[in-house]
Structure 1
């Protein structure tokens, strides 16, 4: 089963400095029928204007993955971590028992991110933050796990959730396959380009909520970049 969520129909907000689209209920957008997809709780498509961003604010008991599509985001938190994550790189914050952080676009041009929140398997614990480069050239034509709480995904950034986050870039006509457990909750969004997933067309920045599929065959209808979450 593949439920398409067209980008044009997503909830959202325009704050001037921030243009946000929400794949699931978030902030002032609330739809009781669209709160989560398994352990996947938030998928925000954010465009942040230059020299603006989110001032320090708290989080707890959430795994927060930031996938940078364009530009760069600069992070600072109450643990003393500081870092700049640019397109092709990923950052992960395990909020644990509680952390405060800020996220700013200090670049001269717009920054575009996906921010993904996944519910952790345990509450509390020491908060952590980390980032890692995953150059797009290294994941061309194949799905690469960029964050994971599943045993065996040793090269990925660690999260405290029964989930993994994968990404790939595909040239037009290329395909990638993913072996899925039918009981899992999969969610796929092309950051750029149109794709076909098991015969269903998914355009850039549309969402596809997937259940009861044993295998995903993803074919690029044009040059594409996509992110996939596989969650409990």
Structure 2
């Protein structure tokens, strides 16, 4: 079964310095039909004004990763990490038993545009940790590049959940497929461009949820950048 959620159906918040689209219920936006999908809890598409950002605040019991589309995102946390993340570099933080961090636009003149994504972890009170890695355009061109997995396979970052997350760049005749195993489902977020997935045409910001589908096929891309989440069929805690 295929379920489409169009970009303009998402929640939206304009705080002046922050403009954010919410794929799932978040902060002041609540949609009982879109609280989570499997273990996927948050996809926020954020645009942060130059020099602005999120001051130090705490999280626990969540896997949080950032995927930068343009600009640079400055990160600092109470684990002692500090860096600026640009396009192609993925950061993952296990908040576990508790960690505080801040995120700011690293530039004083240009906005930063990024996705912040949360997943429920495999267990509570895990040891907090942080990691980051570059996945350049060549890694993602015309194929599904595994960026996060439970065991760090194929050069991916490790995620504390039974989820596999892929990134891809597709254009023209380029085509990619993913076999979905038993008791698996998929959530596809089209970051930008246009793309056909299992016969369904998507535009930037659209999402497609797939249940009881054996294969995911991505084709007919037009400058498409996409994230694919291979997720377990379970109820999130």
The alignment's TM-score, normalised by the length of structure 1, stands at: 0.96
What is aligned with 2:42? 42
1:127: Cα distance to partner?
A: 0.5
Secondary structure at the aligned position of 1:79 is classed as: coil
Aligned residues: 231
What is aligned with 1:11? 11
Gaps of 5+ in 2: 233-237
1:11: Cα distance to partner?
A: 0.7
1:152: Cα distance to partner?
A: 6.4
What is aligned with 1:164? 164
What is aligned with 2:132? 131
Structural mapping, 1:115-130, within 5 Å? 115-130=116-131
Cα distance in structure 1, aligned partners of 2:148 and 2:46: 20
Cα distance in structure 1, aligned partners of 2:26 and 2:185: 19
Contact 1:172 1:224 in 2 (8 A): no
Cα offsets for 1:19-49 (capped at 9, x unmatched): 1111111111111121110011111111111
What is aligned with 1:223? 223
Cα distance in structure 2, aligned partners of 1:77 and 1:143: 30
1:138: Cα distance to partner?
A: 2.1
Is the counterpart of residue 111 in structure 1 residue 112 in structure 2? yes
Contact 1:172 1:221 in 2 (8 A): yes
Contact 1:182 1:213 in 2 (8 A): no
Compare 125-134 and 184-193 and name the one that shifted more: 184-193
1:154: Cα distance to partner?
A: 4.4
What is aligned with 1:198? 198
Cα distance in structure 1, aligned partners of 2:6 and 2:13: 16
Contact 1:24 1:42 in 2 (8 A): yes
Contact 2:194 2:202 in 1 (8 A): yes
Secondary structure at the aligned position of 1:223 is classed as: strand
Secondary structure at the aligned position of 2:155 is classed as: coil
1:147: Cα distance to partner?
A: 1.1
Cα distance in structure 1, aligned partners of 2:33 and 2:210: 16
The alignment's TM-score, normalised by the length of structure 2, stands at: 0.94
Quote the RMSD (CA, aligned, Å): 1.2
Secondary structure at the aligned position of 1:16 is classed as: coil
Cα distance in structure 2, aligned partners of 1:78 and 1:221: 41
1:229: Cα distance to partner?
A: 1.1
Indicate how the Cα distance of structure 1 residues 14 and 182 shifts in structure 2: closer, same or farther if over 3 A, else same: farther
Structural mapping, 1:56-75, within 5 Å? 56-75=56-75
Cα distance in structure 1, aligned partners of 2:135 and 2:98: 27
What is aligned with 2:147? 146
Cα distance in structure 2, aligned partners of 1:72 and 1:176: 29
